[in-house]
Amino acid sequence: MEWIVFFETWIWLGFAATGFAILFNVPPRTLWVIFIMGALGGTVKLICLKLGMNIILSSLMGALLIGFLSIRAAHLRHSPPFVFAIPAVIPMVPGAFTYRMMLGIIHLTGENDHAVFLQLLQETVDNGLKAFFVLSALSLGVSAPMLLSRNKSIKETKPNKFLNKLFDSKKASD
Amino acid sequence: MVLSEKEKINELCKILLEVGALLMETGANTFRIRVTVMRIASAFGYHAELLITHRALMLTINNEESDLFFSRLMQTSAHRVNFKIVSGLSRMSWHIIEEKWDLEMVRHEIDRLKSVPHYPRIVTLLMVALAGASFCRIFGGEAIEMLIAFVATFVGLFVRQEVTKREFNPYLCIFLAAFVSAMISGAAVNLHISSNPEYAFATSVLYLIPGIPLINSLLDLLDGNIINGVVRGLNGLIIAFSIALGLLGAILIYNI
């Protein structure tokens, strides 16, 4: 039963990523790669959350996976890596936190009771900070491969031999 | 057509600026713009220096042998995300190096990329609406809430496209789209259609989230392009604020 729920979430994560990919008008040849990357990244985040990590670290893990996958995808499908990475991390963008923070700010402006105000302020700041740090974790994860390869363009860095072989054998079998 | 050195440097400068401006408009980060422009310039044997801002690009190219240099400034037009162009320009820069394209071929390729069509409108609407429904499901909504999120996203995005076509202020477009989406999903909350209509209400505006400005902002900041990072970040925050205002309108009307 667990696995069915897992697989279902996987599909919805993929569709969320693909929807945004189409909104951003990515080349059609990259669509299915984005579907898989979005689903995998989101799944890693959910697994990390299940293992008891906090939301920020989990998002970083998911984004790191997407970041490194995007490098491979860039070699395979001939597009810059962030064309894959940005639509794929969008399902992890902290929409709910940002929404609650904004709602909190709106309620704060109309609140007069001191105790309620403090309670609301605490929740708003909590949601806002989480949103900010999750977002930072996402961009850090996506750009990690770039930072590690010391800012060379991705096409100049050679993929390692094993992956080369893998892709070559794939081409040969096609 | 044989160009003199002066005409050639003039044409190259125009092309480089157009490439840079297109990349800026369609959602590339500052590092990507710099790398692509420098790469094309060096393929033609020139050295390029770039000043990149949100609304204008400044470029000086020079040839170290003849000491001829050329400067030009170009404004970027309205920003509109389009990864087909980003991807195509990046590909083109490699073709220029590997296959020794001349300026005329580059000009043709840029014109071709600009005219590559978007996805059909109905496909975009349906897929983005499906993404909205997916978000709703991930947050824990049931089938009926997913349907509400689907309809709200579909209509909201349609409104946004229509208003953008009429060239309203971009933040106003986002406000209107958020308002329409929130009004549709808020109606479900108000009429108590399902058990947890808040899920649909919260996820119906997620298609508007400024993912690209915010992620690009942090990428720029990490790269050391502080000013561009701050500008993009502020842009993202204003978009988030417009969405919140749209939601506020619906909240006040329905008194949720």
Taking the C-alpha atoms of residue A142 and residue A164, their distance in angstroms, rounded to an integer, is 23
Interface of A with B in 46-75 (CB under 8 A): none
CA–CA distance from A159 to each of A144, A152, A154, A165 (Å)? 16, 13, 9, 10
> What percentage of chain A exceeds 70 in pLDDT?
84
pLDDT, tens only, A113-146: 889 899 999 999 999 999 889 988 988 888 888 7
**What is the dihedral angle through the alpha carbons of B103, B105, B111, B116, rounded to the nearest 10 degrees?**
-150
Taking the C-alpha atoms of residue A118 and residue B83, their distance in angstroms, rounded to an integer, is 44
Taking the C-alpha atoms of residue A131 and residue A10, their distance in angstroms, rounded to an integer, is 23
Residue B203: list chain A partners with CB under 8 A: 95
Q: Report DSSP state, residue A52.
A: T
pLDDT at B11: 86
Q: How many angstroms separate the CA of residue B224 from the nearest CA in chain A?
A: 12
Q: Give the tokens for residue B117.
A: 């069509």
Closest CA to A19 of B233, B43, B154: B154
Taking the C-alpha atoms of residue B113 and residue B85, their distance in angstroms, rounded to an integer, is 6
Helices (H) and strands (E) in chain B, counts: 10, 3
Compute the count of residue pairs across chains A and B with CB atoms less than 8 Å apart.
Answer: 146
Q: How many angstroms separate the CA of residue A162 from the nearest CA in chain B?
A: 24
Closest CA to A153 of B141, B32, B78: B32
Taking the C-alpha atoms of residue B123 and residue B149, their distance in angstroms, rounded to an integer, is 17
Q: How many angstroms separate the CA of residue B148 from the nearest CA in chain A?
A: 16
Q: Report DSSP state, residue B66.
A: T
CB nearest B139 (choices: A83, A96, A147): A96
CB nearest A90 (choices: B202, B211, B218): B211
pLDDT at B122: 92
> pLDDT tier at A168 (50, 70, 90 boundaries)?
very low
The answer on pLDDT for A167 being more than 50 is no
Prediction ipTM score: 0.84
> In this structure, which amino acid lies at residue B104?
E
CB contact under 8 A, B134 and A143: no
pLDDT, tens only, B116-136: 888 899 999 999 999 999 988
The answer on pLDDT for A96 being more than 80 is no
- A147 at interface of B, judged by CB pairs closer than 8 A: yes
Q: How many angstroms separate the CA of residue B215 from the nearest CA in chain A?
A: 5
Residue A38: list chain B partners with CB under 8 A: none
Domain ranges of chain A: 2-92+144-173
Taking the C-alpha atoms of residue A101 and residue B161, their distance in angstroms, rounded to an integer, is 27
Taking the C-alpha atoms of residue B123 and residue A40, their distance in angstroms, rounded to an integer, is 24
CB contact under 8 A, A19 and B130: yes
> pLDDT tier at A173 (50, 70, 90 boundaries)?
very low
pLDDT at A170: 42
- A16 at interface of B, judged by CB pairs closer than 8 A: yes
CB B32 within 8 A of CB A80: yes
Domain ranges of chain B: 5-115, 121-254
The answer on pLDDT for A166 being more than 90 is no
* Residues with pLDDT less than 70, chain B: 1-3
Q: Any idea which residue has 């990864």 for tokens?
A: B83
Residue A73: list chain B partners with CB under 8 A: none
pLDDT at B151: 92
Residue B202: list chain A partners with CB under 8 A: 95-96, 99
Contacts of residue B40, Cβ cutoff 8 Å, sequence gap at least 6: B15, B16, B19, B93, B96, B106
